[in-house]
Amino acid sequence: MIRRMKQFDVISRHRQGESYRHIARELGIDRKTVKAICDRYKEGMDALVSSKSEQEVEDATEQLVLTRSYDSSKRRTRTYTPTVEARMKELYKIFLDLKFWE
């Protein structure tokens, strides 16, 4: 998932005329991700410009700023195995040994 600051950087660079490929190379992210970020931005701006009522402006602004597009439905489910539990206990013990609170 791309953080908001990186999304802002993508949009800013695109508005300055940089190509998707150049932005992707400079920021180390996939070109398709750059295109998706720019497309969402363009859709949001189009909706904002074409808004006629205050409610439409509010809805368009929310879509532009707050909407997350990450789809977790295709994610593998994680299994809490004995190996994971053992590793968590090991890390917890290390944490306790560090004694941050003293």
Q: b or e along 87-96 (b: 16 or more beta carbons within 10 Å of the residue's beta carbon)?
A: eeeeeeeeee
Whether the model clears a pTM of 0.95, i.e. scores above it, the answer is no
2-11 pLDDT per residue, tens = 677 888 899 8
* pLDDT, tens digit, 9 for 90 and up, residues 85-96: 899 999 888 888
Q: CA 50, CA 52: separation in Å to the nearest integer?
A: 6
Mutual angle of helices 4-15 and 20-27, in 10-degree steps? 140
Cβ–Cβ under 8 Å, residues 31 and 20: yes
